[in-house]
Amino acid sequence: MTSLASTFVDRIRAVVGHPSEPIGLHVPEIGELEKKYIIECLDSTFVSSVGSFIPKLEERMQEITGARHAIAVSNGTVGLQVAMFLAGVEPGDEVVIPTLSFIATANAVSHAGAHVFFVDSEESTLGMSPVALRAALESFVRKGSSLVNPATGRRIAAIVPMHTLGHPVDIAAIVAVAKEFDVPVVEDAAESLGSFVGEQHTGTFGLTSMISFNGNKIVTTGGGGVILTNDEALGKRAKHITTTAKLAHKWEFEHDEIAWNYRMPNLNAALGMAQLDKYPRFLEQKRRLAGKYAEAFAGVEGLSFVVEPAGTTSNYWLCSVRLDEPSLALRDELMTAAHEAGLLVRPMWNLLHQQRMYSSASRGDVSVATDLHASLICLPSTPALAEAV
């Protein structure tokens, strides 16, 4: 083992201690409150798409994020698909996304019937680069009221930045570029519940957005998510088309368009409400854990702890370190050493333009994302680890 690999393991251990069991990347905390709310939900018999926990969860999400409308859905991927649909993405369109993202960002575009265009990330945020975005948009041509990729002939229908590992992307710059080219922004805020730019919550800058409640997120509903928007008409429409577009009536089953059954079940919302009650503590623990890692890795040559971008407050959903020199071989050596020590660290996702389904998709230069992929390692980030040592 090289000395950097043993230092890596040693510095993680300094934060998480020496438990006998392997330490996962992010484990949900499920306790008595979750059981209480779920039993309450079971006793009510409202276990499906109707029930009191769902609107409560939506209201709580509005309070936390400041968004005027929060619509609960069955997972983040379908939430992002609908968020794009609401923003006007149609089959055959093209949507600009970062190549450094989880597969769901691209899959949601595909499920909307559209095609992806990949752009690069920036070092300071790990998210979509506004400079790369501008370069891409400038390479497109205007046809009537649409911006069109001349290489594919497709309309550019949306821009989907993502807040990577919870760190806010430079959303103000991205929104400004998007506005100049008159293309709507849909934020993939799957990972960034509790992350702010200044005082404004991520997911409230674009026309629409999505936050995920998957089991590995800061707050979980088992599976689930919310669509956020400040636009009243879009908020109403989001609820309508994710609940089969049924017209309100005591007994008639009349539906006014082909829609989805994407409503979050009440059972999941019950779990989510218990988690949201604990969310202020989770957030505080995550930021304290990040502070501990930052201290532990300070002065380690060859590795740096990734800190929140200037002017933002990150939820540090996944704490991470970065190799000063990108190297897949060294990255994998460090990860192997950590796994042998029972520390289940993870690399970033494989770049989307290298996934077989998207390898022929259009893209700009992606060199920064390639370096980030070869240098980032995600550390165990369960909130309770803040109390480990």
List residues binding ligand PLP (CB under 6 A): 75-77, 80, 101-102, 104-105, 162, 188, 190-191, 212, 214, 225
The secondary structure element, H or E, covering residue 97 is: strand 94-98
Residue found by looking up tokens 């370069």 in the block: 135
Distances 299 to 33, 153, 252, 256, 305 between C-alpha atoms, Å: 41, 51, 68, 62, 10
Q: Which residue is nearest to ligand PLP (CB)?
A: 76
DSSP string, 25-68: S------HHHHHHHHHHHHHT--SS-STHHHHHHHHHHHHH--S
Report the nearest approach of ligand PLP to the CB of residue 3 (Å).
Answer: 33
Separation between Cα atoms, residue 247 and residue 69, nearest integer Å: 20
**Tokens (6 digits) for 57:** 């969860």
- Smaller CB separation from ligand PLP, 102 or 205: 102
Report the nearest approach of ligand PLP to the CB of residue 105 (Å).
Answer: 5
- Smaller CB separation from ligand PLP, 15 or 54: 54
DSSP string, 119-160: E-B-TTTSSB-HHHHHHHHHTSEEETTEEEETTTTEEEEEE-
Separation between Cα atoms, residue 386 and residue 286, nearest integer Å: 7
- Smaller CB separation from ligand PLP, 225 or 383: 225
- Smaller CB separation from ligand PLP, 155 or 286: 286
First-residue to last-residue Cα distance in the chain: 25
Pairing mode of beta strands 362-363, 320-323? unpaired
- Smaller CB separation from ligand PLP, 7 or 192: 192
SS3 at position 201: strand
Separation between Cα atoms, residue 187 and residue 193, nearest integer Å: 12
Report the nearest approach of ligand PLP to the CB of residue 93 (Å).
Answer: 19
* Residue in 25, 28, 23, 27 with CA at minimum distance from that of residue 221: 28
- Smaller CB separation from ligand PLP, 60 or 292: 60
| Residue 34 zone, left/alpha/beta (φ > 0; ψ -120 to 50; rest) | alpha
Reported residue count of the chain is: 389
Report the nearest approach of ligand PLP to the CB of residue 225 (Å).
Answer: 5
Report the nearest approach of ligand PLP to the CB of residue 253 (Å).
Answer: 29
Q: Is 364 exposed, middle or buried (0-12, 13-18, 19+ CB in 10 A)?
A: middle
Report the nearest approach of ligand PLP to the CB of residue 106 (Å).
Answer: 9
- Smaller CB separation from ligand PLP, 264 or 337: 264
**Tokens (6 digits) for 104:** 């769901």
- Smaller CB separation from ligand PLP, 215 or 302: 215
Report the nearest approach of ligand PLP to the CB of residue 40 (Å).
Answer: 24
Report the nearest approach of ligand PLP to the CB of residue 387 (Å).
Answer: 26
**Tokens (6 digits) for 124:** 């300071």
Report the nearest approach of ligand PLP to the CB of residue 210 (Å).
Answer: 7
Report the nearest approach of ligand PLP to the CB of residue 108 (Å).
Answer: 7
- Smaller CB separation from ligand PLP, 93 or 188: 188
- Smaller CB separation from ligand PLP, 7 or 315: 315
